[in-house]
Amino acid sequence: AERPEFQAVEVKIVDENREKAFADSLDYWYVPTYFVDGVKVHEGVPTVDKVRKVYERALDL
């Protein structure tokens, strides 16, 4: 609600147990991990500011 433009970001949430092959293809250790266009942009404990930056990067802001 804070940033309506973020609604344009396509988000895929991966369940490591249900999509093991896909999860194993990704380079991460901690969750949550955020990737934008296949590039890891955040891993580990999220904060509002860190998640905001992920979305901004996804939108190239």
* pLDDT score at 57: 97
The two structure tokens encoding residue 42: 């955040």
Q: What is the mean pLDDT of residues 1-18?
A: 94
CA–CA distance, 29 with 13 (Å, rounded to integer) = 16
pLDDT of 2 reads 84
Mean predicted lDDT score pLDDT of the chain: 95
Residue with tokens 């996804």: 58
